[in-house]
Amino acid sequence: MATLIKQLNMTGIVVRLTSLLCVAAFLVFGQNKSAAPKPSPPNIEGIWSFATLTPLERPAELVGKKHLTDQEAAEFAKRVIERRNFDRRDGGNDADVARAYNDLFYDFGKRASNQTSLIIDPPDGKLPTMTPFGQKRATERAAKLVAIPNGPEDRPLWERCILGFNSGPPMMPSGYNNNVQIFQAPGAVVLFNEMVHSARVIPLDGRPHGTVRQWTGDSRGHWEGNTLVVDTINFTNNGTGTIGLRVATDENLHLIERLTRRDANTLIYEFTVDDLTIWTQPWTASVPMSKSNDPIYEYACHEGNYGMEDILAGARAQEGGQASKKDK
Using one digit for the tens of pLDDT, what is the confidence trace for 307-328?
A: 788 888 988 998 887 766 666 5
Question: What is the pLDDT confidence band of residue 20, given thresholds at 50, 70 and 90?
Answer: very low
Q: Which of 254, 255, 244, 271 is nearest to 168 (CA)?
A: 244
User: Do residues 260 and 267 make contact, with C-beta atoms less than 8 angstroms apart?
Assistant: yes
Instruction: Calculate mean pLDDT across residues 249-265.
Output: 93
pLDDT on residue 303: 65
Rg (CA), the chain: 28
Question: What is the pLDDT confidence band of residue 19, given thresholds at 50, 70 and 90?
Answer: very low
pLDDT for residue 35 is more than 70: no
Instruction: Calculate mean pLDDT across residues 166-181.
Output: 91
pLDDT digits (tens, 9 = 90+) for 274-301: 999 999 999 999 999 999 999 999 888 7
pLDDT on residue 298: 87
pLDDT for residue 2 is more than 70: no
Instruction: Calculate mean pLDDT across residues 261-267.
Output: 95
pLDDT on residue 279: 94
Instruction: Calculate mean pLDDT across residues 12-16.
Output: 42
pLDDT for residue 22 is more than 50: no
pLDDT for residue 188 is more than 80: yes
- The 3-state secondary structure of the chain, one letter per residue: CHHHHHHHHHHHHHHHHHHHHHHHHHHHHHHHHHHCCCCCCCCCCEEEECCCCCCCCCCHHHCCCCECCHHHHHHHHHHHHHHHCCCCCCCHHHHHHHHCCCCCCCCCCCCCCCECCCEEECCCCCCCCECHHHHHHHHHHHHHHHCCCCCHHHCCCCCCCCCCCCCCCCCCCCCCCCEEEEEEECCEEEEEECHHHCEEEEECCCCCCCCCCECCCEEEEEEECCEEEEEEECECCCCCCCCCCCCCCCCCCEEEEEEEEEECCEEEEEEEEECCCCECCCEEEEEEEEECCCCCCCCCCCCCCHHHHHHHHHHHHHHHHHHHHHHC
User: Do residues 77 and 112 make contact, with C-beta atoms less than 8 angstroms apart?
Assistant: yes
pLDDT on residue 64: 93
Residue partners of 1: CB distance under 8 A and separation at least 6: none
State how far the Cα of 225 lies from the Cα of 208, in Å rounded to an integer: 21
pLDDT for residue 72 is more than 80: yes
Q: Which of 20, 299, 313, 13 is nearest to 161 (CA)?
A: 299
Higher pLDDT, 260 or 153: 260
What is the reported pTM? 0.81
pLDDT for residue 60 is more than 90: yes
Q: Which of 88, 126, 216 is nearest to 164 (CA)?
A: 216
pLDDT digits (tens, 9 = 90+) for 206-243: 999 999 999 889 999 999 999 999 999 999 886 544 45
Residue partners of 215: CB distance under 8 A and separation at least 6: 157, 162, 163, 235, 236, 238, 242, 243
User: Do residues 173 and 35 make contact, with C-beta atoms less than 8 angstroms apart?
Assistant: no
User: Do residues 44 and 185 make contact, with C-beta atoms less than 8 angstroms apart?
Assistant: no
pLDDT for residue 11 is more than 70: no
pLDDT digits (tens, 9 = 90+) for 83-138: 776 666 677 777 776 666 666 678 888 899 999 999 999 999 999 999 999 999 88
